[in-house]
């Protein structure tokens, strides 16, 4: 007899109870192995699924010879726990919430996907389920990115759904994201003789003025309104209390509509701040919503809501870059993601499960 090495996941639980069980299985980024093991163990022996493992990413797919294939993906890691596990239920204003790390981002969506993967033996489309590691950390560690490099063949598909929290609504595409460091230089001097030097901090005043006065655009892309933003997310400068500083830096984040490329975004920043040294420290293309695809339209109809734009960058952009239309669809309010009081309205979990089940079985 072999000792069990990890607690089992019981996929026959209802999706809310399964969400609690998955949350109570901690899997902070870098520490996903036990949860990935449990997922593989829970799916073991299901004849309708082919299981592929890459590191702590688990792929499960049907091979039913359907005309179309849908990729349904979600990450299995969370940001660090901050005294917000184990989960608990709480009721406020008549609404029942499941509280705790991961309930929103995104173990509710993950639980729905795991349950449907096990139960949907005969879906109307072929499905490639992808549950991946390292989403909450540096992009170069991202399990989905690694899988795309190792096994690009697994990304064959006509439409993709990412289970990121979207209040159970369909959020299409995502804004692009660039971050730059703008620098000004001067000359050091003793601050008792400031006129001998040239103050680099004073020189960044126009950057802050322009940021404070900037009116971000809202750009319509394929029927969705993408609200942009341009923000200082950091500023630094200074040597000592008696020294005129010779360098100052403003760290600027531009979130831009998916009709624009990273190159367009950088051009815009160069137009706004032509006189500063500009170092690009992060760049990610946005993703068009892709809602003109017939499969996407069927899905939106099945979910029964007006699609909305996604502002935050998500891994839908990886699918978009591969030419696969992709949307976000999962339970939980994104404003509660990463919050210490992260909690999900449990009705959103059951709604997501029911909508997805209906669409995948042709009932909707």
Tokens 């990610």 map to which residue? 284
Closest CB to a copy of itself among 125 and 174?
174
Ramachandran assignment for 121, one of left (phi > 0), alpha (psi -120 to 50 degrees), beta (any other): alpha
Q: In whole angstroms, how far apart are CA 191 and each of 196, 235, 245?
A: 9, 21, 9
153 assigned to active site? no
Region from 16-24, 126-134, 171-179, 323-331 binding a copy of itself, contact rule CB under 8 A: 171-179
Listing DSSP states for 9-64 in one string gives P-TTS-HHHHHHHHHTS--BTT--HHHHHHHHHHHTT-TT-EEEEETTEEEEE---
133 assigned to active site? no
In b/e form, how buried is each residue of 71-100, taking b as 16+ CB within 10 angstroms?
A: bbbbbbbbbebeebbebeeeeeeeeebbbb
User: Binding to a copy of itself (CB under 8 A): which residues in 279-338?
Assistant: 281-282, 311-313, 335
User: Binding to a copy of itself (CB under 8 A): which residues in 196-255?
Assistant: 196, 199, 201-205, 208-209, 211-212, 216, 227, 229-245, 248, 250-251, 253, 255
Closest CB to a copy of itself among 7 and 234?
234
Interaction of residue 268 with a copy of itself, rule CB under 8 A: no
Per-residue binder mask for a copy of itself (CB under 8 A), 85-124, x = binder = ----------------------------------------
Q: How far is CA 47 from the centre of its chain?
A: 31
Catalytic residue among 32, 77, 247, 285: 77
CA distance 132 to 145: 9
Catalytic residue among 56, 126, 133, 135: 135
Enumerate binding residues for a copy of itself (CB under 8 A).
175, 177, 179, 190-196, 199, 201-205, 208-209, 211-212, 216, 227, 229-245, 248, 250-251, 253, 255, 281-282, 311-313, 335
| Catalytic residue IDs | 77, 135
């Amino acid at each position: 007899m072999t000792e069990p090495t990890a607690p089992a996941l019981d996929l026959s639980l209802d999706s809310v109870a399964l969400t609690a069980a998955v949350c109570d299985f901690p899997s902070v980024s870098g520490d996903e192995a036990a949860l990935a093991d449990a997922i593989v163990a829970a799916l073991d022996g299901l004849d309708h699924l082919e299981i592929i493992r890459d590191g702590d990413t688990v792929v499960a797919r049907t091979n039913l010879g359907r005309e179309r294939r849908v990729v349904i993906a979600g990450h299995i890691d969370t940001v660090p726990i901050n005294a917000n596990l184990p989960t608990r239920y709480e009721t406020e204003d008549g609404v029942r919430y499941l509280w705790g790390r991961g309930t929103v981002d995104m173990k509710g969506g993950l639980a729905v996907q795991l349950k449907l993967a096990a139960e949907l033996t005969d879906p109307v489309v072929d499905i490639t389920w992808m549950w991946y590691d390292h989403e909450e950390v540096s992009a170069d560690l991202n399990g989905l990115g690694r899988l795309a490099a190792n096994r690009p063949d697994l990304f064959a598909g006509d439409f993709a759904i990412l289970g990121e929290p979207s209040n159970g609504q369909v959020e299409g595409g995502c804004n692009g994201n660039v971050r730059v460091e703008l620098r000004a230089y001067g000359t050091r001097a003793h601050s008792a003789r400031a006129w001998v030097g040239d103050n680099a901090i004073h020189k960044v005043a126009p950057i802050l003025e322009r940021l404070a006065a900037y009116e971000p655009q809202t750009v319509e892309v394929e029927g969705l309104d993408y609200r942009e933003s341009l923000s200082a997310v950091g500023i630094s400068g200074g040597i000592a209390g008696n020294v005129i500083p010779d360098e100052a830096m403003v760290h600027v984040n531009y979130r831009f509509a998916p009709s624009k490329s990273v190159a367009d975004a950088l051009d815009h920043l160069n137009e706004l701040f032509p006189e500063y040294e500009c170092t690009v420290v992060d760049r990610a293309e946005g993703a068009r919503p892709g809602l003109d695809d017939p499969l996407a339209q069927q899905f939106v109809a099945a979910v029964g809501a007006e699609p909305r734009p996604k502002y935050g960058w998500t891994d839908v952009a990886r699918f978009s870059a591969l030419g696969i239309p992709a949307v976000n669809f999962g339970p939980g309010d994104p404003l509660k993601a990463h919050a210490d009081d992260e909690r999900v309205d449990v009705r959103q979990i059951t709604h997501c499960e029911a909508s997805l089940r209906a669409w995948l079985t042709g009932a909707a």
